[in-house]
């Protein structure tokens, strides 16, 4: 066994874990680890401009690669700056391993320079966290951190590394396996429950699949698609699950919830059997809980996290297990097509009813004035035409996010990054940069708002430094659009502090960073400019002026039932 410093153990452990890229920012308490990093070029380090950016980049990397994203930051402010990203990852079940420097163990608790109690601060927003006090615990702790972050319901894990532990000499032996007495996720679903679920589905008249981000994390997109297509049951995906089922399949009803399609929400409200898979009945999905899916006699819920089951909505047939395992098991057990034929006649009628709702009230669509601002939906259509569904599409938070979620077709899973649970403005640009390091050959399109882009704009410098060809499209209405929309609808049009009076010149700003900048003021210039922007190498910022008062519809006001929708 080799003797080495704690800092070297950190780097060796990351390499043993198969990590190729880390996102970070150096500082006093993490300097020993940075010294070990530069001596080990096998580990690529991406220098960010703000630690929050590092956390979101690691999230983007994790979401596209399926592997935990790694962040290295210093103590105190370096680590507290990652907290928003950690909380974001926690809400969206994204695996992160955050390695934070800490003041030497002898100084912990003394209010030392750049000291903050990071295990205390992050306890409620991490899956687990550690303060390493002995260099000989270091390798095992990092092994456990990766195992916890990536297994079960994934999530962020923080490891606090006091400076003296990084400097101490220890023996390095990376453990092959992890033994945690208190953590054994259930993988295989209960046989009897799976049987009951299949019986309920086969006896249903108006069944509906409702699938969430868990499908992506358990890599269940392919078997789920096979199951849904085999059964011929309509399916709606949550915001987090766009792309796990192909959008162009007639069975796909798109996103449900607060900004879901009329037909999609009506399908939820009228189904008699709801099959929830890796989704958590978030309030943006259910609306008023007491009136959610009122006609559903049976709700089936497949999830790896037992605490998600019957948390918001009472579930009749819970199945705890890994979604991929459970769905593969269900695939084996469903009846043959001939056996299902009489049911499928009913299901086809049900699907026809849903399509009737869609014909009655499709998503609002109007052709914009070629001399006026571009319509948001035209921007999304144009981006799709240019990328053919092969791009990784990233958004920030707000109106542009909902328009994209409603309109953008997806053909593949791991192609859609957005901040769902926490709704973190400033997520888009860094997440898009992180995605590039996981999928360097795929186009990366970041759709952003004029508010959101300014919340982590500094990461343009990171994109320029590492020549990340991220294409950022700003839907610029000079407003915090979603806030403005709520103020219009629910606060009698009192637009309290939602207008940005001093909008930067984004073209010059991009150029100042060394990126390319474009601006589209008239609808007629949209298509050629987007085409030129996407063909420009390196990072590109496109500032597209959109109408100031455009809203996202349909909309279920907070606290209303899913069928109580506003259409304008």
Question: Do 298 and 204 touch, CB atoms closer than 8 A?
Answer: yes
Q: Where are the alpha helices (DSSP H) in 291-336?
A: 323-333
Catalytic residue list contains 113? yes
Judged by CB under 8 A, the residue of 173, 229, 288, 311 near another protein is 311
Q: Binding of another protein at residue 105 (CB under 8 A)?
A: no
- CA nearest to 226, candidates 301, 324, 299: 324
Q: Binding of another protein at residue 193 (CB under 8 A)?
A: yes
Q: Which position among 8, 12, 17, 51 bears the catalytic label?
A: 51
**Span 466-485, contacts to another protein by CB under 8 A:** none
Q: Would you say 289 or 341 has its CB closer to another protein? A: 289
Catalytic residue list contains 482? yes
Judged by CB under 8 A, the residue of 181, 352, 494, 497 near another protein is 181
Q: Would you say 125 or 239 has its CB closer to another protein? A: 125
Q: What are phi and psi of 542, to 5 degrees?
A: -120, 120
Question: Do 57 and 23 touch, CB atoms closer than 8 A?
Answer: yes
Min dist. Cβ of residue 422 to another protein (A) = 15
Q: Binding of another protein at residue 184 (CB under 8 A)?
A: yes
Name, in order, each residue with C-beta under 8 angstroms of 360's C-beta and a sequence gap of 6 or more.
262, 263
Give the tokens for residue 86.
């950690």
Catalytic residue list contains 401? no
Q: What's the full length of the chain, in residues?
A: 568
Q: Would you say 89 or 526 has its CB closer to another protein? A: 89
**Span 316-345, contacts to another protein by CB under 8 A:** 320
Give the tokens for residue 302.
């497949």
310: left (phi over 0), alpha (psi -120 to 50) or beta: left
Catalytic residue list contains 51? yes
Min dist. Cβ of residue 129 to another protein (A) = 9
Judged by CB under 8 A, the residue of 49, 127, 280, 414 near another protein is 127
Q: Which position among 67, 143, 163, 375 bears the catalytic label?
A: 163
Q: Where are the alpha helices (DSSP H) in 101-162?
A: 118-122, 138-150
Exposed, middle or buried, 537 (CB in 10 Å: 0-12/13-18/19+)? Answer: exposed
Judged by CB under 8 A, the residue of 18, 41, 176, 182 near another protein is 182
Q: Binding of another protein at residue 148 (CB under 8 A)?
A: yes
The site map against another protein for 128-147 (x = CB under 8 A) is x--x----------------
CA distance 194 to 495: 51
Stretch that binds another protein, among 49-57, 177-185, 396-404, 437-445 (CB under 8 A): 177-185
Name, in order, each residue with C-beta under 8 angstroms of 45's C-beta and a sequence gap of 6 or more.
21, 22, 23, 24, 37, 72
Catalytic residue list contains 127? no
Q: What are phi and psi of 484, to 5 degrees?
A: -60, -45
Residues that bind another protein (CB under 8 A): 119-120, 123-124, 127-128, 131, 148, 180-186, 190, 193, 305-307, 309-311, 314, 320
What positions carry a catalytic annotation? 51, 113-114, 163, 482
């Amino acid at each position: 066994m080799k003797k080495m410093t704690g800092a070297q153990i950190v780097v060796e452990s990351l390499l043993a874990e198969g990590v190729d890229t880390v996102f970070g920012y150096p500082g006093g308490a993490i300097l020993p680890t940075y010294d070990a990093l530069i001596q080990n070029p096998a580990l690529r380090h991406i220098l960010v401009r703000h630690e929050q950016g590092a956390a979101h980049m690691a999230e983007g990397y994790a979401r596209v690669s399926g592997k935990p994203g790694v962040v290295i930051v210093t103590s105190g402010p370096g680590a507290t700056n990652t907290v928003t990203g950690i909380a974001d990852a926690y809400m969206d079940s994204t695996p992160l391993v955050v390695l934070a420097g800490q003041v030497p163990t002898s100084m912990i608790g003394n209010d030392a320079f750049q000291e903050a109690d990071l295990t205390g601060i992050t306890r409620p927003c991490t899956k687990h966290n550690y303060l390493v006090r002995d260099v000989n615990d270091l390798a095992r702790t990092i092994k456990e951190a990766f195992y916890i972050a990536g297994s079960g319901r994934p999530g962020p894990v923080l490891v606090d590394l006091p400076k003296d532990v990084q400097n101490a000499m220890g023996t390095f032996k990376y453990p092959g396996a992890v033994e945690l007495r208190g953590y054994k996720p259930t993988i295989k679903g209960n046989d009897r429950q799976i049987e009951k679920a299949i019986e309920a589905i086969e006896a249903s008249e108006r069944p509906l699949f409702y699938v969430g981000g868990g499908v992506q994390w358990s890599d269940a997109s392919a078997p789920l698609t096979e199951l849904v297509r085999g059964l011929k049951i309509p399916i709606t995906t949550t915001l987090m699950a766009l792309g796990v089922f192909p959008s162009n399949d007639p069975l796909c009803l798109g996103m449900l919830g607060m900004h879901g399609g009329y037909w999609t929400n009506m399908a939820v409200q009228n189904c008699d059997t709801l099959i929830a898979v890796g989704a958590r009945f978030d309030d943006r999905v259910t609306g008023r809980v007491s009136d959610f899916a009122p006609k559903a006699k049976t709700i089936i819920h497949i999830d790896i996290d037992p605490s998600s089951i019957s948390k918001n909505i009472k579930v009749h047939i819970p199945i705890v297990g890994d979604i991929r395992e459970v769905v593969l098991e269900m695939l084996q057990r469903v009846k043959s097509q001939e056996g299902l034929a009489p049911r499928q006649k009913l299901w086809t009628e049900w699907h026809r009813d849903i399509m009737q709702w869609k014909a009655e009230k499709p998503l609002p669509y109007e052709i914009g004035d070629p001399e006026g601002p571009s319509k948001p939906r035209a921007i999304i259509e144009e981006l799709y035409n240019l990328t053919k569904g092969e791009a990784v599409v990233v958004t920030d938070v707000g109106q542009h996010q909902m328009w994209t979620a409603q309109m953008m077709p997806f053909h593949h899973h791991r192609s859609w990054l957005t901040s769902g649970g926490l709704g973190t403005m400033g997520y888009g640009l860094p997440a898009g940069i992180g995605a590039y390091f996981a999928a360097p050959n795929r186009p990366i399109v970041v759709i952003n708002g004029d508010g959101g882009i300014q919340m982590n704009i500094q990461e343009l410098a990171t994109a320029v430094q590492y020549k990340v060809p991220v294409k950022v499209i700003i839907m610029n209405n000079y407003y915090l659009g979603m806030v403005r929309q709520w103020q219009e609808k629910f606060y009698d049009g009192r637009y309290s502090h939602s207008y940005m009076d001093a909008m930067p010149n984004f073209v010059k700003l991009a150029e100042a960073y060394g990126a390319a900048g474009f601006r589209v003021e008239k609808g007629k210039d949209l298509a050629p400019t987007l085409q030129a922007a996407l063909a420009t190498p390196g990072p590109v910022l496109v500032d597209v002026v959109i109408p100031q008062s455009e809203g996202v519809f349909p909309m279920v006001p907070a606290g209303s039932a899913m069928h109580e929708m506003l259409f304008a």
